[in-house]
Structure 1
Amino acid sequence: MKIMVFDVPAEAGGALSVLNDFYKEATSCEDKNIEWIFVISTPFLQETENIKVLRFPWVKKSWGHRLYFDNIVAPRLVRKHKVDKVLSLQNIVVPNVDVPQILYVHQSLPFASYRFSFMENKLFWIYQNIIGKKIIDSIKKADKVIVQTEWMKRACAEKAYIKDDKIFVVAPNININIKNFFEANQQSLSTFFYPASGLSYKNHNIVLEACKKLKEKGIKEFKVIFTLKGNENNYIKNLYKEVKAQKLPIEFVGSLTREQVFDLYTRSVLIFPSYIETFGLPLLEAKLHKGIIFASDCPFSHEILDGYENAYFFEPFNERELVRLMSSSINKELEYNKHFNFENDKEIFEKNMIDIIV
């Protein structure tokens, strides 16, 4: 059996993680009669006896190049190699081919309740209103759809007006070796950590506003850690300037190693105000470290945290709710339960994509 795997957008971040994770799954697949053909742009993947890699770096030159590839080159590749199935890891199916297609949807912007205006963010508006329509149309056309969470399964079914029996949930491949757990003490309860990129929907601004209000209340013995440098984009540059001007206790430490992030989960409270996510990995990581978590009151947060006693939710556009939670932590008014069983979470990671594809 020949299976062609398309993922030309993958270059960095979460998209590249999706590609690398599935490549590892394919290399460890016990059925060596499957011939895998990976179609990618710039990343490097090692070819093996049953894995062939086709690279098209020119796809990244412009949107025009990408459209030409998707609509002309991709269908030709499917026909040329006489593949039996197509797996698309890029949110849209390959057009005009007569083979079964499995679609992996991991772009959550079209399904978010928050809608961006064109003036607010042109790229996000395009994803929600133009690319989003292509994604929803692809969901309708695909033979099977794979998503990372139950909330995405419901959202895909509702947006595409289809039954959810062709949509399968497979959580991201997460390999976490927990060495230490959160310790509740004065320092950890007054240290707040937010590991996130500088995208506007990561909502760092709500943390800044909460810090300003805490300072106004005379609460100063705390600090916040962002995994940003302060120069990522105009949104973050302005935020950084205000932090310095207001002399707020927010540290911009830049990117951290996985080990450094895990260490901070054991000695700080996780704040997660993002309002658009597919999975929200830090929520699970902090939970597995038995940490205290302040999370946005959104479907992806509840899917990971419901039933976890050390999780608290706040409306992501209401800094007063976050102020109340941060103040309670600083003043040691929160109850902390360090005895928690994670047996139910193990079931989340037992499924893999190949079982659904083959």
Structure 2
Amino acid sequence: MNIMVFDVPAESGGALSILNDFYQEVIENDDKNINWIFVLSKPEYKEFDNITVLNFSWVKKSWFHRLYFDHFVAPKLVKKYNIDKIFSLQNVIIPKTDVEQILYAHQPLPFSGYKFNINENFKFWIYQNLISKKIYNSIKLANKVIVQTNWMKKACTEKADVKSDKIDVIPPKINLNIENTFDKNNKIKTFFYPAGASYYKNHRLIIEASKLLEASNINDYKIILTLNGNENKNIKELYKEVKKYNLPVEFAGRLERDEVFNLYTKSYLLFPSYIETFGLPMLEAKLHKTIILASDKAFSHEILDDYENAYFFDPFDAEELMKYMKKLLVGEISYKKVNSVSKSNNNSLYSEVIKKLN
């Protein structure tokens, strides 16, 4: 059987992590009865006897290049390689083909309750008002759809007007070798937010909350962000504000995975993002038994509602976040004993895809 995996958007962040994990599972399972053809943009993977990797880096030049690829190049590749099944990791199906397709939908912007206006963020407005229609239609036309969360499944069934049994929920597989957990006996003075630079990650709220803490004469703490400070216009502005007001915010840049896990054991997790499919840092921190301050959104509740040390705040209210941070710093919030924490399910994306394609 010839299976073609499409993921030309994946280049960094969560999308690349999903692709990396799936590719690794294909290698580990080593099913000689399946020929895999990965169609990608820039990521370069090793080829094997039954794994072919096709790179089209020019797809990333513009949206016009992407549209040309989707409508003219991709269907030709399906014919050229005599493909039996398609697995699309890129939120939309491949047009102009009758080959059976499984769609992996993980772009939350079209399903978010928060709507960007065209002046606020043009790219996100495009996603919510134009690309969203393509995604909804792909969900309708795909043979099967996979999402990461129940909230996303509910949103897909409503927006695309499809039956719920067409959509399966497969949370990200988490393989953690947790050596240490949150040090509840140590007086924690550090807050940690491991996130990229996207606007909806909402770093602005943290900076505003820090200003409010400073105004209350509370400055014996530190906030660690996994940013350099020059990622985009928004982050550059926040970096300047941190320097101007001398806020205790550290721009630590990209951290290795073990460094992130170590920080879960000796800091409080902040998670003010208001648009996510699956907020992985929340699950990782939960597994490390960390105290978590998270945005009051459906994706947060799906991960944290059964967790004793989670607190929720309005992601657009800096004062509410500041009050929770202050309570932690002055000891008004006490750590609640956690006996065990359930992980996400152990179903692999690979095994679920194979099950659905057979």
CA distance in 1, matches of 2:152, 2:191: 29
Give the counterpart letter for 1:349 in structure 2.
N
Deviates most, 115-124 or 327-336: 327-336
Give CA deviations for 1:91-125 in whole Å, capped at 9, x if unaligned. Answer: 11011111111001111111111100000000111
Name the counterpart of 2:25.
25
CA distance in 1, matches of 2:327, 2:159: 39
Deviates most, 119-128 or 41-50: 41-50
- Taking the TM superposition and a 5 Å limit, the aligned residue runs for 1:320-331 are 320-331=319-330
Q: What is the TM-score when the length of structure 1 is the normalising length?
A: 0.95
1:29 to partner: Cα distance: 2.7
Q: Is the 8 A contact 2:173 2:348 kept in 1?
A: no
Name the counterpart of 1:289.
288
Deviates most, 51-60 or 273-282: 51-60
CA distance in 2, matches of 1:199, 1:8: 20
- Taking the TM superposition and a 5 Å limit, the aligned residue runs for 1:4-43 are 4-29=4-29, 31-43=31-43
* Percent identity between the two aligned chains: 59
Runs of 4+ in 1 over 6 A off after TM superposition: none
Name the counterpart of 1:176.
176
CA distance in 2, matches of 1:223, 1:60: 38
Give CA deviations for 1:213-259 in whole Å, capped at 9, x if unaligned. Answer: 11112222111111111111111111111111112111111111111
1:265 to partner: Cα distance: 0.5
Name the counterpart of 1:340.
339
Helix, strand or coil for the counterpart of 2:223? strand
CA distance in 1, matches of 2:337, 2:183: 8
Deviates most, 12-21 or 26-35: 26-35
Deviates most, 332-341 or 70-79: 332-341
- Taking the TM superposition and a 5 Å limit, the aligned residue runs for 1:63-212 are 63-185=63-185, 187-188=187-188, 190-212=189-211
Name the counterpart of 1:247.
246
Aligned residues: 355
Name the counterpart of 2:51.
51
Q: Is the 8 A contact 1:147 1:153 kept in 2?
A: yes
Give the counterpart letter for 1:259 in structure 2.
D
Q: What residue ranges of structure 2 are gaps of 5+ in the alignment?
A: none
CA distance in 1, matches of 2:56, 2:251: 37
CA distance in 1, matches of 2:256, 2:227: 13
CA distance in 2, matches of 1:357, 1:207: 44
Helix, strand or coil for the counterpart of 1:83? coil
Q: What is the TM-score when the length of structure 2 is the normalising length?
A: 0.95
Give CA deviations for 1:163-210 in whole Å, capped at 9, x if unaligned. Answer: 11011111223221111111124542x211111112111111111111
Instruction: Note the aligned Cα RMSD (angstroms).
Output: 1.4
CA distance in 1, matches of 2:5, 2:172: 17
1:80 to partner: Cα distance: 2.0
